[in-house]
Amino acid sequence: MVNRLQLLSLMTAATAASSALAADSSDWTKLPSLPDKEGFASMFAGVSGGALLAAGGANFPDKKPWEGGKKVWYDTVFVLEKPDGAWKVAGTLPRPLAYGVSVTHVGRVLCVGGSDESGHRAECFRMAWGDGKLTIASIPALPQPIANLSGAVLGDTLYVAGGTEKPDSTSALKTFYALDFAAKNATWRELEPWPGPARMLAVAAAQDGSFFLASGADLKPGPDGKPVRTYLNDAYRYTPGKGWQRIADLPRAAVAAPSPAPTVRQNRFLVVSGDDAAQLTVAPPDHKGFPKSVLAYDIRADRWTETAPTPAPRVTVPAVQWNGAWLVVSGEQKPGIRSPEIWRLQP
């Protein structure tokens, strides 16, 4: 009888914990859409002066890529000063840019690397919004040009991992850089990389005193010399002073999922949608969209579980924390097709 009661107690606790997590990740609502009918892939986004900034990105404004359309990069910076307000143009970036890393740190949006029509960039900068005005200032450049990288800020240190060096790269990078903004004369430091394969378009997270790197895609040259992706579902934890540790593999790949990953409480983060490679052989016009599933990683249990789905599966898209909620800002809803929508997850 005692054993049965103990088992019942454990089952009840597990069910309650699972239900609580599902409830945390099921409350999705829409904010005003960006004032662009197409929307953008891989914008730079963050919060400054209490306002949401969304900048740059790329899309196919005339024809889709399978129709011979040309990708266009943008330099517009949009601002939304309150969740029920209206977007307006705040200014422009130093150049059209997309596919970099953006994080919020002490009231500024840090923008790292990325690409434009001519290639990949090493320059980095920060955006700030105040008194109705946008200001942009340079921060130390990366040691090399990188796009399709991942990053998150832990305390005062920004970590970025992986990516590609050139638009036609047939191998991904296995580089791990850190920029400590609390240091005098801050500069990028190259750190020991994770023990797994090189990767691009991985998911980064900062939680529980550590930096996490999950999924992504490795590259190799195919028979025609063009890059071929290997989809990854491994994941790693980096703790300053302790180094890297492999954690549980994801149940599926989640390439280019919203990043930095939304965090929940003090011991979880969420991998929302992402490309799981399930439709690699599907022609782009017939693509049904990316998976709606949301994977929750429990840091203390080292376990992934599937929780309530998202109504807005997106890839190549930034995630931003604003007013206690997490936002998925624009992004790609199908290959070559963007969305101007802004979705809010309220844990």
Tens of pLDDT, residues 142-195: 999 999 999 999 999 999 999 999 999 999 999 999 999 999 999 999 999 999
Q: Could you tell me if residue 22 is inside a domain?
A: no
Q: Are 343 and 333 in contact (CB under 8 A)?
A: no
- Mean of the per-residue pLDDT values for the chain? 93
Q: Could you tell me if residue 3 is inside a domain?
A: no
pLDDT band at 8 (very low <50, low <70, confident <90, very high): very low
Segment 71-95 shows an average pLDDT of 97
207-221: burial string, b at 16+ Cβ within 10 Å, e else: bbebbbbbbbbbbee
Predicted confidence at residue 347, as pLDDT, reads 78
Segment 285-302 shows an average pLDDT of 97
pLDDT band at 26 (very low <50, low <70, confident <90, very high): low
C-alpha atoms less than 13 angstroms from C-alpha of 295 in its C-beta half-sphere = 27
Predicted confidence at residue 264, as pLDDT, reads 93
Predicted confidence at residue 15, as pLDDT, reads 41
274-284: burial string, b at 16+ Cβ within 10 Å, e else: bbbbebeeeee
Residue 163 structural domain: 27-342
Q: Could you tell me if residue 16 is inside a domain?
A: no
CA atoms of 337 and 75, how far apart (whole Å) = 19
The yes-or-no verdict on residue 9 having pLDDT over 90 is no
The yes-or-no verdict on residue 323 having pLDDT over 60 is yes
The yes-or-no verdict on residue 25 having pLDDT over 60 is no
**How many domains is the chain built from?**
1
pLDDT band at 1 (very low <50, low <70, confident <90, very high): very low
Q: Could you tell me if residue 38 is inside a domain?
A: yes
Least confident of 20-29, 216-225, 302-311: 20-29
Q: Could you tell me if residue 20 is inside a domain?
A: no
Q: Please give the full DSSP string across 240-254, using - where no structure is assigned.
A: TTTEEEEEPPPSS--
Say which residues have a Cβ less than 8 Å from residue 63's Cβ, sequence separation at least 6.
69, 70
CA atoms of 302 and 265, how far apart (whole Å) = 15
CATH number of domain containing 223: 2.120.10.80
Segment 251-257 shows an average pLDDT of 98
Output 184 or 303, whichever has higher pLDDT.
303
DSSP secondary structure letter of residue 41: B
The yes-or-no verdict on residue 45 having pLDDT over 70 is yes
Q: Could you tell me if residue 6 is inside a domain?
A: no
- State whether residue 307 is helix, strand or coil: strand
CA atoms of 87 and 108, how far apart (whole Å) = 19
Q: Could you tell me if residue 11 is inside a domain?
A: no
Least confident of 25-34, 35-44, 114-123, 144-153: 25-34
Q: Could you tell me if residue 318 is inside a domain?
A: yes
Output 26 or 74, whichever has higher pLDDT.
74
State the pairing for strand pair 157-161/342-345. unpaired
The residue with tokens 């690397």 is 113
